[in-house]
Structure 1
């Protein structure tokens, strides 16, 4: 089971306008916050018959950049009645000019390490090209194609597109969640509406919209996405009402705890 993209939906994640976009400016409007999501199984198409878990997500405004941490923990039950515990820890630091990214992704299955990726990446300009330098699992570099954005710039680009009335976007994303380099993402923005009812007063006053993102391996000829996620995005980059499709099974995520955080200079 390939869970590279568990980290993507938030820091990341997502979409793009063009290399002429200035997501660094838009990113200043993203909200530093702490959120906890409860995950439940919506449907299964393979060996998984039950699943639940949590996802903790934190975005800190660290003056010159965004420090992000996501910890996802899920317990899956297969048809043999076995429980499988999967934990994913993902951390990044992304400069607010959108040109530099440090990343670390560590995943365990029943406490055994199944994936460990770390390194840094730079872009020549916002929207690439650039290069990713990995230190784990081995010291290597990979080129990043024209159009590449890092996660927070990617998120800001999606929000700018939604506010501008755009419906479809597609550009490479590099988030450091796997050793394969950049991936392609296809984004559909299905709505953008004014303030709506929410249990969180800080969010209820903001516009929001529905977004669907599909992620593709650039090295594969397959037309099927590796992973898909749908969500409601508020104007400040906070997400809720998640639908996370991992291929064999689909999870839903509901925002259970939420706190805006202060930061910056």
Structure 2
């Protein structure tokens, strides 16, 4: 089971200590000011299993931190998932994913290390520059290579901001190529389905911070890049995630569909991080 790319991604940026500051942004993406710098912990457990799949159990934790680095978003996501099959075999997969994303969406520095059963199975690192014409990726790992980005490519935090803007505007579908730095395969096509519209604030006893905020439920499908230029990617998604996003970019309910099985993620802890800017 190949979980390399699937375990690493959420439509949020990530941070790795030691990155140099991002190039100063000329103009931040509209809506960036609404995003909340925070730390969050999610409890993961098995939600459902497809017919004929051998998976019997899955549980884990995801830790996420996003920091306002003034001209960029810096965050880090660490993920551990234990998956067991009917024969009693249990495999532990962990990922440590980090990026530094300019607030104007012009650049991304990224690093991902994934381990399965204690052995490193994937390392991806490099930087990408984004232009209206597409842009370019310069990988340092797994090899020193370069690749082009398709026109219209956006980065993880920009994807979050624009998805929320689409929901607020009453749109039901948002389609865009996305590059997140979790694979050496370059950008993916994404289709975001927004269901239920822009939801009014609701009481939240566990996290009062979210009680006064509107939100939207959406399902994001990731596809291998479509080279025909038609958009929307291949017929079958490589991965899907459903979640509820609040207007400040915090997600409290996740469902990650890995094909054979679906994992449910629930927000367990939430802490704001003061801005140094």
Question: Do both share a fold (TM > 0.5)?
Answer: yes
2:80 aligns with one of 49, 73, 78: 73
Match of 1:139 in 2: 144
Contact 1:23–1:157, Cα closer than 8 Å, also in 2 = no
| Greater per-residue helix proportion | 1
Match of 2:179 in 1: 174
Instruction: Write out per-residue CA displacement over residues 146-192 of structure 1, whole angstroms, 9 at most, x where no aligned residue.
Output: 11001111110001111111110111000000000000000011121
Once the 2 structures are TM-superposed, how far is the Cα of residue 10 of structure 1 from its aligned partner? 3.9
Alignment root-mean-square deviation, CA:
1.7
Structure 2 residue 2 is the aligned partner of structure 1 residue 2: yes
Of 67-76 and 216-225, more deviation after overlay is shown by: 216-225
Once the 2 structures are TM-superposed, how far is the Cα of residue 133 of structure 1 from its aligned partner? 0.6
1:122 aligns with one of 105, 129, 149: 129
- TM-score, structure 1 normalization: 0.92
Write out the 4+ residue segments of structure 1 that deviate beyond 3 Å after TM superposition: 219-222
Contact 1:41–1:51, Cα closer than 8 Å, also in 2 = yes
Match of 2:209 in 1: 202
Contact 1:23–1:156, Cα closer than 8 Å, also in 2 = no
Contact 2:95–2:114, Cα closer than 8 Å, also in 1 = yes
1:79–1:90 CA distance, 2 compared to 1 (3 A): same
Contact 1:12–1:154, Cα closer than 8 Å, also in 2 = no
Distance 1:169 1:223 in 2: 17
| Higher relative contact order, structure no. (Cα contacts within 8 Å, ≥ 6 residues apart) | 1
Match of 2:18 in 1: none
1:238 aligns with one of 221, 246, 250: 250
Distance 2:28 2:44 in 1: 30
Distance 1:161 1:252 in 2: 25
Structure 2 residue 255 is the aligned partner of structure 1 residue 248: no
Equivalence map 1:1-265=2 (5 Å): 1-3=1-3, 4-11=5-12, 24-45=29-50, 46-125=53-132, 128-191=133-196, 192-198=198-204, 199-218=206-225, 222-265=234-277
Unaligned runs of 5+ in 1: 14-21
Contact 2:75–2:100, Cα closer than 8 Å, also in 1 = yes
1:195–1:38 CA distance, 2 compared to 1 (3 A): same
Once the 2 structures are TM-superposed, how far is the Cα of residue 80 of structure 1 from its aligned partner? 1.5
Distance 1:255 1:40 in 2: 12
Once the 2 structures are TM-superposed, how far is the Cα of residue 2 of structure 1 from its aligned partner? 2.3
Residue 157 of structure 1: SS of its match in structure 2?
A: helix
Distance 2:234 2:109 in 1: 29
Unaligned runs of 5+ in 2: 15-26, 228-232
Of 30-39 and 44-53, more deviation after overlay is shown by: 44-53
